[in-house]
Structure 1
Amino acid sequence: MPADTTSGRAVGFLLDLIDSWDADRVRARAGLPRPAPEDLREARRRLPWELSALPSSVVLWMLQEDDPDLNAVVWRLLPDQDTALRRAILDGVPFSPGRLLAVEVDPVLRDTYREPPVPDRVARLGLVPALRESTTMAAAREATSMVYRREHWQTVAEADRENSLPGYVRWALAIRADCPPSLRAQFGAHRKFDFRVRQAGIMTDPAEYAVGHGPALDVLKVLSLGHMMFPRRIAEAENALRPLVRDHLGTREEAWAALTQLLQTFHGTTEELVVTAGAIA
């Protein structure tokens, strides 16, 4: 298997979780040489062309780096309609917990783009009244596009405690990568609501993503780029997978061969993939 394929990177990420001498032996047998070092900034700039749509939480972990280069990558990964996060990036909003200092804006973004205009309803009524009269998803998305700073989230939380916000507003906010977990919990639990949140890719942490999200190939592709996408959080994913890899694959070359063969068509989670490959071997 060529080292530069998606599958090669995915298997390589898992191999890095075992002893390096054993990993080199498996690589040699499977035709997976170690990837050559590459320039971090250049590799990051290729990410928008290498990755498809990302789960919301992965986007948040990238933003939490508070790195202008990564914010520029996120900008290019965002759907055109995601004006709230675009406002935040252009405004230098920090996402790392506890950080108050504004984040420098990438010069290309700063000089090329301007912050989207304030929606007419919000300008005319104010944020909370505009949220309260949002009785369609389109209206909710328009109004919630102005919720992107910490003080905005606090205002929304206070307004919802005082009198519950419309369902479409809660939905539009809850599936946002930057929605505070405490506010999402405040919105309450409902089977359909929880499904929408999961569908958007909202997860507790990278460990949950690594073990419980799927398909495994998509997850491992992202994790293999984790050291350049969300370096502060990638260890959480590695620590969650390491015991699984060592227990079910270890140094058994036949188990790694089975995993390589399964990877392209396996629709389950990474945990299920590792356990299945170990069982086959």
Structure 2
Amino acid sequence: MPADTTSGRAVGFLLDLIDSTAADRVRARVGLSRPVPEDLREAGRRISQGLPALPSSVVLWMLQEDDPDLNAVVWRLLSDRDTALRRAVLDGVPFGPGRLLAVEVDPDLRDNYAEPPVPHRVARIGLVAALRESASMAAAREATSMVYLREHWQTVAEADRENSLPGYVRWALSVRPDCPPSLRAQFGSHRKFDFRVRRAGILDGPAGYALDHGPARDVLKVLSLGHMMFPRRVAEAEDALRPLVRDHLGDREEAWAVLAQLLDSFHGTTGELVRTAGAIA
């Protein structure tokens, strides 16, 4: 099993959570070579083209690195609907907690892409008025595309406290990965609201993603690139999985061989995969 295959990278991520000597022995048993070090630029195409659909929160973790090279990768992951995030990247908006200085913009983005124009309605009547007049999802998306600076989010929170914003606006903002959790909570919670947020891929953090998201193969494929995609937060996923891996797989070569065999066809979470492989072995 080459280390640069999807399965190889996924198993390799979990192997890095146990003792290195035991991990080398398991690699020999399952035919997994050691991964070749690569930098972000080398992996950029694989990140933008070879990954499964990413939960929105993973994109936010990448933006929180405030890295121009990584932001250029994020740009290629964004869709045409992600107008606000594209504005933020081109404006050098910082996402890291507590960071105030602007982020340098990748030269290719700066030279080849213009910031989307301000929607006519927002320019004419102002942001808050445009939000309040949004009577459809299309209108809400257009108006909320201008919400991307920290002061914008503060303005939205104050306007909503004064008089609740339309449901379409709250929906459009709540499924954004950069929506502050406090504002999402302020918007309220009910079954349909929670479902929309979950469907958009809004996660509590890398630990929950590692343990409770699926299928395991896709999650581990993303986490195996975590040290390049979101290095400041990947340790949260590792810390969540480490006790599980050590308890159910440890240095047992047969258990790791079962895991490698199950991985491609397993539809459950990573936690379920690890427990199942351990139980079978």
Normalised by the length of structure 2, the TM-score is: 0.98
Contact 2:94 2:102 in 1 (8 A): yes
Partner of 1:204: 204
Q: Which residue of 1 aligns with 2:174?
A: 174
- Compute the displacement of 1:2 (Å): 2.6
Could you tell me which runs of 5 or more consecutive residues in structure 1 were left unpaired when the two chains were aligned.
none
Instruction: Tell me, yes or no, if the aligned pair for 1:134 and 1:140 is still in contact at 8 Å.
Output: yes
Instruction: Give the letter aligned to residue 125 of structure 2.
Output: L
**Alignment partner of 1:158 is 2:154:** no
Q: 1:130 — aligned with what?
A: 130
For residue 88 of structure 2, what is the aligned residue in structure 1? 88
Equivalent in the alignment of 1:148: 148
Q: How far does the alpha carbon of each residue in 1:120-165 deviate from its partner, in whole angstroms, 9 at most, with x for none?
A: 1111111011111111111111110000000000000000001111
d(CA) in 1 for partners of 2:77 and 2:237?
22
Which amino acid is the alignment partner of residue 90 of structure 1? L
Distance 1:37 1:98 in 2: 31
Q: CA deviation at 1:40?
A: 3.2
Query: Partners of 2:52 and 2:259 in 1: how far apart?
Result: 23
- Offset from partner CA, 1:69-119 (integer Å, 9 cap, x none): 000000000012211000000001000011100000000000000100011
Q: Provide the rounded CA distance (Å) in 1 between the counterparts of 2:72 and 2:175.
A: 22
Distance 1:53 1:120 in 2: 32
Provide the C-alpha distance between the structure 2 equivalents of 1:58 and 1:278, rounded to a whole number of angstroms.
28
- Residue 58 of structure 1 and its aligned partner are, at CA, apart by 0.3
The alignment status of 1:231 with 2:222, answered yes or no, reads: no
Q: Who is 2:79 aligned against?
A: 79
Deviations 1:205-252 (A, max 9, x none): 111111111111110000000000000101010000000000001111
Separation in 2, partners of 1:106, 1:53: 24
For the residues of structure 1 that align with 2:163 and 2:280, how far apart are their CA atoms? 56
Give the counterpart letter for 2:147 in structure 1: V
Query: In 2, Cα distance between the equivalents of 1:71 and 1:15?
Result: 29
CA RMSD, Structure 1 to Structure 2 (Å)? 0.9
Q: What letter matches 1:276 in structure 2?
A: T
* Cα deviation, residue 44, structure 1: 2.8
Number of the residue aligned with 2:275? 275
Identical counterparts, % of pairs? 84
Question: In the aligned structure 1, how far is the partner of 2:13 from the partner of 2:52?
Answer: 19
1:147 is paired with a residue whose SS is coil
The CA distance in 1 between the partners of 2:40 and 2:112, in whole Å, is 23
What's the CA shift for 1:53? 2.4
* 1:27 maps to amino acid: R
Aligned to 1:222: 222
Number of residues paired by the alignment?
Answer: 281
Given that residues 44 and 229 in structure 1 are in contact (C-alpha distance below 8 angstroms), is that contact kept between their aligned partners in structure 2? no
CA contact (8 A) 2:47 2:73 kept: yes
SS in 2 for 1:264: helix
CA distance in 2, matches of 1:252, 1:232: 30
SS of aligned partner of 1:184: helix
SS of residue paired to 1:232: coil
Tell me the CA shift for residue 204 of structure 1: 1.2
1:41-56 alignment runs, 5 A limit:
41-56=41-56
Residue pair 2:26, 2:251 contacting (<8 A) in 1 also:
yes
Ranges in structure 2 where 5+ consecutive residues have no aligned partner: none
Taking the aligned partners of 2:182 and 2:99, their CA distance within structure 1 comes to: 18
Cα offsets for 1:6-50 (capped at 9, x unmatched) = 011000000000000000000001000111122332223431112
SS of residue paired to 1:201: coil
Name the counterpart of 2:187: 187
Give distance in 1, aligned partners of 2:159 and 2:21.
57
Aligned AA for 1:25? Answer: R
Moved more, 30-39 or 79-88: 30-39
SS at 2:101 equivalent: coil
Residue identity matched to 2:236: E
SS of residue in 1 equivalent to 2:80: coil
Q: For 1:59 and 1:21, locate their aligned partners in 2 and report how far apart those are by CA, in whole Å.
A: 34
